[in-house]
Amino acid sequence: MKESANLFGIENVLKTLGLKAINNGTPTGIVNYSGNSILESFSPVDGQLIGSVTITTKADFEAVMEKATAAFKIWRTMPAPQRGEVVRQFGDKLRKKKEALGKLVSYEMGKSLQEGLGEVQEMIDICDFAVGLSRQLYGLTMHSERPGHRMYEQYHPLGVVGIISAFNFPVAVWAWNTTLAWVCGDVCIWKPSEKAPLCGVACQNIISEVLAKNKLPEGISNLINGDYKVGGFMTKDNRIPLISATGSTRMGKIVAQDVASRLGKSLLELGGNNAIIVTPDADIKMTVMGAVFGAVGTAGQRCTSTRRLIIHEDIYDKVKSGIVDAYKQLRIGNPLDETNHVGPLIDKDAVNMYLNALKQVVEEGGTIIAKGEVLKGKGYESGCYVKPAIAEAKPDFKIVQHETFAPILYLIKYSGDVENAIETQNNVAQGLSSAIMTNNLQEAELFLSVQGSDCGIANVNIGTSGAEIGGAFGGEKETGGGRESGSDAWKVYMRRQTNTINYTSEVPLAQGIKFDL
């Protein structure tokens, strides 16, 4: 392993998480696969091979399904608060291993160490939320129209839940899904991104310790590895009633079709093309802070990253100047060095998409005002480091309508009332996150009204990025319509049952229907 990685203690990180450094052998999790094909994980930080995992075969998947379905029969009968206690212990384990797992996230995926640690904190927070939820899986009671009858609703677990996660949040999104599914009584099979498989093995190692301590079947939490073909084992399987998939809109459409063809349920968290509207009543300093983090955080590889800044013409030049000046202060480099703001893109394919997007915006008539380029030289050997770019553009440019997973921010000028800006914001295929910067109460309320943002997330005086676990997370249109994390998102992991109890000696029918024998 390269000296730069050792400098930040990566070998000790791997050891702490039950993984082996590449120079001591390949990492191992609790799942032993029969296949010979391996999936190698290279760090975008320095281009070094961290380790490898075995790709799941169809035979392996069948063995995993057998374990999962057997475990479900045991897990579903445990009272929900007892399941919550297991999740509480998982959260405590994460607290102890937060630094190690946060570093692995940063090194394998490329986000800043602060963001890596924040992602693990998000896992801890959702564990806490799920523990409380385990005592609040409420149904409803309602009055029957028939005398001597009682009606109520209750929720039961679905069974085996399939989870497909993306590279940009290699651990948190899995935790959003699996902790809620667990307290609901489901068991889970997880296919992490093939671009960050070691994070998946590390999480599996942590939960396996908790399950073993409680003498519970390991099939409650299952891990499979590979590309979209391995994910297809789950999406096409009738034994998995719910597939939760996070990724691109293109991927989501494939998953949705596979699952719909067997009348299964999908929870989709797909692309975002998020905008911040900046009105004449905005605080410029707050706007710059919110927009810059939204655009360059995780090197622009968040589904909630700020892609478009829609600025009123009266303050356009002032906002533009503030954003450009802020970009000059960005430090780009090894994300494990906390003095750096921006780390690498995930791989060279992402770099090529970044370069093609910059080329296309110029071809369509846009102007680059903060030049983007691939960085070279010492510290940039992986070839995945790029400079965050800013371009002036028109809202109808094809490239502006497209989500490019890279740090490119488009500045768009609007005139007239805020309604014009809202129309521009909504006029894209995606509908995940949105924000408005204004101190005008009427503008803020309009933005949040039925006439305002059409996104699943709408913020006032904060950016588009950085959601809390207490609220339901998700979006509309080509973002997929799913909701994860807080609020009542737990209901998607359960099946609803309506019960009617007759405690009389007669059998009256609803709607007053007579059927006498």
What one-character-per-residue DSSP string does 373-431 give? -B--STT-TTS--B--EEEE--TT-HHHHS--SSSEEEEEEE-SSHHHHHHHHH-SSEE
* Of 463, 115, 467, the residue nearest 286 (C-alpha): 463
* Residue of 115, 119, 194, 269 marked catalytic: 269
Q: How far, in Å, CA of 400 to CA of 428, rounded?
A: 9
* Residue of 184, 303, 384, 455 marked catalytic: 303
Q: How far, in Å, CA of 158 to CA of 122, rounded?
A: 25
Q: How far, in Å, CA of 349 to CA of 95, rounded?
A: 34
And the tokens for 262? Answer: 């067997």
Q: Residue 288: what residue type?
A: V
Q: How far, in Å, CA of 294 to CA of 331, rounded?
A: 16
269 is catalytic: yes
CA 45 to chain centre: 21
And the tokens for 428? Answer: 């894209």
165 by Cβ neighbours in 10 Å (0-12 / 13-18 / 19+) ranks as: buried
The answer to whether 125 and 473 have CB atoms below 8 angstroms apart is: no
Crossing angle of helices 98-109 and 113-133, rounded to 10°: 130
127 is catalytic: no
The answer to whether 139 and 154 have CB atoms below 8 angstroms apart is: yes
Q: How far, in Å, CA of 82 to CA of 322, rounded?
A: 53
* Of 79, 71, 118, the residue nearest 338 (C-alpha): 118
Q: Residue 47: what residue type?
A: G
Q: Hey, how many other C-beta atoms are within 10 angstroms of the C-beta on 11? A: 17
DSSP 510: G
Active site residues: 269, 303
